[in-house]
């Protein structure tokens, strides 16, 4: 059933609002996309604080143009969009993970920091570690010298205890 002009305007306003809040958006072709896929992806996205949706290319182009993003004509007719509001990499990573083993679907493009990026860039972002992983690596790097110093000091104490124990055993 065709949507009325008012429904389309409401959809455009909703897409525009999502685009204005999003730090990044990842787009994919939806050929071979089933309702079971949609439910699974929506659940995974909700766990990470992301939103998903199928949007028509023309409505998306209008909303994007109003948001200052140009060049979305590279997208197919209807497109799967994953909107990320906190982590710039999360939509790309979720989409790449979801598309593994699905040859019929592929990443089309993305929007990162309000600029349209090619599919290759979205795939490159998907390969990056998450924000939490990067923070964990940073903490580990900062903690490594301190841990090494503690181990060196503990080694000297262990050696002293062993010498004292051997002296005690030799006198006993």
Q: Please compute the mean of the pLDDT values over residues 141-167 and round it to a whole number.
A: 81
Q: How confident is the model at residue 9 (pLDDT cuts 50, 70, 90)?
A: confident
Asked if 26 contacts 32 with a C-beta cutoff of 8 angstroms, the reply is no
Residues 99, 43 within the same domain: yes
Res 1: pLDDT: 58
Residues 107 and 36 occupy one common structural domain: yes
d(CA 45, CA 51): 6
Query: Is the same domain home to 99 and 165?
Result: no
Separation of alpha carbons 85 and 72, rounded Å: 20
Q: What angle do CA 110, 114, 119 make, to 5 degrees?
A: 15
Residues 152 and 94 both lie in one domain: no
* Count: domains in the chain: 2
Which domain covers residue 115, as residue numbers? Answer: 5-128
Same domain, 161 and 91: no
Contact 117, 71 (CB under 8 A): no
- CATH number of residue 40's parent domain: 3.30.70.1730
Q: What is the mean pLDDT of residues 18-39?
A: 84
Taking the complete model, does pTM exceed 0.75, yes or no? no
- Both 86 and 32 in one domain: the answer is yes
């Amino acid at each position: 059933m065709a949507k009325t002009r008012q429904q389309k305007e409401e959809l455009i306003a909703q897409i525009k609002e999502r685009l204005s809040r999003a730090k990044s958006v990842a787009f994919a072709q939806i050929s071979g996309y089933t309702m079971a896929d949609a439910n699974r992806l929506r659940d995974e996205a909700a766990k990470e604080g992301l939103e998903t949706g199928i949007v028509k290319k023309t409505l998306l182009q209008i909303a994007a143009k109003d948001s200052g993003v140009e060049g979305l004509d590279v997208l197919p007719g209807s497109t799967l969009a994953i909107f990320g509001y906190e982590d710039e990499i999360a939509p790309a990573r979720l989409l790449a993970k979801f598309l593994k083993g699905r040859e019929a679907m592929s990443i089309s493009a993305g929007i990162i920091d309000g600029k349209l990026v090619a599919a290759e860039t979205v795939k490159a972002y998907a390969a990056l570690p998450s924000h939490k992983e990067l923070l964990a690596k940073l903490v580990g790097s900062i903690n490594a010298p301190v841990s090494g110093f503690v181990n060196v000091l503990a080694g000297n104490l262990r050696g002293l205890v062993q010498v004292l124990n051997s002296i005690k055993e030799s006198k006993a």
